[in-house]
């Protein structure tokens, strides 16, 4: 663990060659983001325009929950739509009308593009505009793509947020305000809001908001602090609206959270002494919680399969704060600019891979004899059956893991499979 906040980074693998692979990719498409976005914004509805496969994907992922009122659905394309026999736009209008009649409380409707709708070039952007004209001011209708051919898993959130950016009201006031961008658990968000208030940064808004109808205002005074690493498109869209993006590591672990808060504090001209004073208690608490799990993780070898783009910040945390050995850090997509602060903190010999050829990657994985593998659910049980401990990666997107008070929980997520193995006598 890095004891002093100002110590130089541990390594830096900025210049390391990156293993770029093409082949079978065992990842989710962006539609999956609906599974958490519908909870973040309960006044929104996500209507996928796609095939039965898309409908099946979303319900397989979320259908274990029992819904009295579904918050997502699919307009399934039929043969008539493909043959051009039915005017796709008229069909879509009819489906939206049917949906809004059943669910009059919906305030924002996302038309979500899929592989089939992209391949047949159905112009959902246009459709969203047309439908908005019809249903505004009651319902706002927007569009983004969650297709597998264009997006991987969390990139769906990136596109969903990016499509809301043009709708953010303009901030008249040019004074600096802070916008936290990226879905955080409510409780984590509250913690950070309290901390920023303690630092004297009062003007803080969050995006996405908790109600899709309450979009935060944005202007040249806005400073963007990204809480998730997969928001390249959203960051660009916000920059285009005059906001400035603060570059920082992501708030995973005590060090990541400290660096993240510090970056914001410095941008807002908070004196270093005040910053450190405000952070001291949180840091101490986070380190205490982490210390409990460090013995389980220290020296253990971990292999991270690509999934959510959280892999680099996670690897940094697991190495820097938990003492784990990184065998390979895979990511579906590497935005070097965005992740530079993370790359700077990774050990110099880290093997990075972008993209995937799953069979070859599994060959490397088995050869490297990991103690723990971070991977998706399609691989987890099969690897366990081969005697390899796994931590399923999707959980990291669904759990409160950011911030000081979650640093221990985050480490626990990785320690748990190892603890479990030591408990079971089977």
Residues lying near other proteins in the complex (CB under 8 A) are found at 23-32, 42, 49, 51-53, 55-57, 59-61, 63-64, 66-79, 81-82, 86, 88, 91-92, 94-95, 98-99, 101-102, 105, 115-116, 118-120, 147-150, 152, 359, 376-382, 384-385
What is the SS3 assignment for 147?
A: coil
Residue with smaller CB distance to other proteins, 199 or 379:
379
Tell me the closest approach of the beta carbon of residue 209 to other proteins, in angstroms.
Answer: 17
Q: CA 71, CA 64: separation in Å to the nearest integer?
A: 14
Structure tokens at 226: 């990204």
State the angle between helix axes of 407-423 and 253-267 in degrees (0 to 180), rounded to the nearest 10. 170
Tell me the closest approach of the beta carbon of residue 286 to other proteins, in angstroms.
Answer: 32
Residue with smaller CB distance to other proteins, 66 or 273:
66
Q: CA 77, CA 110: separation in Å to the nearest integer?
A: 17
Residue with smaller CB distance to other proteins, 148 or 330:
148
Q: Is 322 annotated as a binding residue?
A: no
Residue with smaller CB distance to other proteins, 121 or 423:
121
Task: Return all residues near 58 (Cβ < 8 A) that are at least 6 apart.
Answer: 31, 32, 34, 35, 48, 72, 74
Place of tokens 């050829």: 357
Task: Return all residues near 109 (Cβ < 8 A) that are at least 6 apart.
Answer: 44, 45, 47, 96, 99, 100, 131, 135, 139, 140, 141, 142
Tell me the closest approach of the beta carbon of residue 224 to other proteins, in angstroms.
Answer: 27
Residue with smaller CB distance to other proteins, 70 or 219:
70
Q: CA 128, CA 110: separation in Å to the nearest integer?
A: 8
Tell me the closest approach of the beta carbon of residue 308 to other proteins, in angstroms.
Answer: 13
Residue with smaller CB distance to other proteins, 35 or 161:
35
Strands 325-331 and 301-304: parallel
Residue with smaller CB distance to other proteins, 148 or 341:
148
Report whether 313 contacts 260 (CB < 8 A): no
Structure tokens at 173: 């006031």
- From the number of C-beta atoms within 10 Å of its C-beta (0-12, 13-18, 19+), residue 7 rates as exposed
DSSP string, 212-274: TT-PPPB-TTEEEEESSTT-HHHHHHHHHTT-EEEP---SBHHHHHHHHHHHHHHHTT--HHH
Tell me the closest approach of the beta carbon of residue 356 to other proteins, in angstroms.
Answer: 9
Residue with smaller CB distance to other proteins, 63 or 295:
63
State the angle between helix axes of 407-423 and 272-291 in degrees (0 to 180), rounded to the nearest 10. 10
Residue with smaller CB distance to other proteins, 177 or 308:
308
Structure tokens at 158: 């990136």
Q: Is 375 annotated as a binding residue?
A: no
Place of tokens 């995973």: 252
Structure tokens at 39: 């909870």
Q: Is 163 annotated as a binding residue?
A: no
Residue with smaller CB distance to other proteins, 31 or 141:
31
Tell me the closest approach of the beta carbon of residue 8 to other proteins, in angstroms.
Answer: 39
Tell me the closest approach of the beta carbon of residue 196 to other proteins, in angstroms.
Answer: 29
Residue 287 backbone dihedrals phi, psi, to 5 degrees? -65, -35
Residue 359: how many CB atoms within 10 A of its CB?
Answer: 10
Q: CA 307, CA 375: separation in Å to the nearest integer?
A: 7
Annotated binding site for [4Fe-4S] cluster: 29, 54, 115
Annotated binding site: 29, 54, 115
């Amino acid at each position: 663990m890095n004891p002093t906040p100002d110590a130089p980074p541990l390594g830096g693998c900025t210049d390391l060659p990156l293993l770029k692979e093409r082949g079978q990719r065992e990842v989710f498409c962006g539609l999956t983001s609906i599974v958490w976005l519908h909870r973040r914004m309960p006044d929104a509805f996500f209507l996928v325009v796609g095939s039965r496969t898309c409908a099946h994907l979303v319900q397989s992922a979320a259908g274990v929950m029992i819904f009295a009122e579904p918050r997502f659905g699919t307009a399934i394309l039929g043969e008539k739509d493909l043959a051009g026999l039915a005017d796709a736009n008229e069909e879509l209008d009819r489906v939206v009308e049917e949906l809004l009649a059943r669910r009059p409380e919906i305030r924002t409707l996302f038309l979500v593009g899929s592989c089939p709708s992209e391949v047949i070039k159905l112009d959902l952007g246009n459709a969203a505009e047309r439908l908005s004209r019809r249903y505004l001011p009651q319902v706002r209708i927007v569009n983004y793509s969650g297709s597998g051919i264009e997006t991987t898993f969390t990139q769906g959130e990136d596109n969903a947020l990016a499509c809301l950016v043009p709708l953010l009201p303009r901030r008249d006031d040019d004074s600096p305000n802070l916008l936290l961008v990226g879905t955080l658990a409510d409780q984590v968000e509250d913690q950070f809001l309290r901390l920023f208030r303690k630092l004297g940064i009062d003007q803080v808004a969050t995006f996405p908001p908790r109600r899709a109808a309450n979009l935060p205002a944005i202007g040249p005074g806005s400073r963007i602090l990204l809480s998730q690493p997969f928001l390249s498109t959203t960051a660009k869209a916000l920059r285009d609206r005059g906001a400035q993006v603060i570059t920082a590591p992501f708030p995973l672990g005590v060090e990541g959270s400290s660096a993240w808060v510090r970056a914001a504090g410095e941008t807002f001209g908070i004196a270093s002494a005040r910053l450190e004073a405000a952070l001291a208690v949180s840091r101490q608490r986070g380190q205490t919680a982490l210390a409990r799990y460090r013995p389980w993780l220290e020296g253990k070898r971990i292999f991270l399969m690509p999934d959510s783009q959280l892999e680099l910040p996670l690897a940094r945390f697991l190495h820097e704060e938990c003492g784990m050995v990184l065998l390979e850090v895979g990511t579906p997509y590497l935005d070097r600019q965005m992740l530079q602060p993370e790359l700077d903190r990774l050990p110099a010999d880290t093997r990075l891979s972008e993209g995937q050829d799953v069979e070859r990657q599994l060959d490397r994985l088995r050869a490297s004899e990991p103690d723990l593998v971070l991977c998706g659910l399609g691989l987890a049980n099969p690897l366990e059956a081969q005697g390899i401990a796994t931590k399923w990666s999707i959980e990291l997107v669904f759990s409160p893991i950011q911030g000081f008070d979650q640093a221990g929980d985050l480490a626990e997520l990785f320690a748990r499979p190892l603890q479990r193995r030591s408990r079971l006598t089977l």
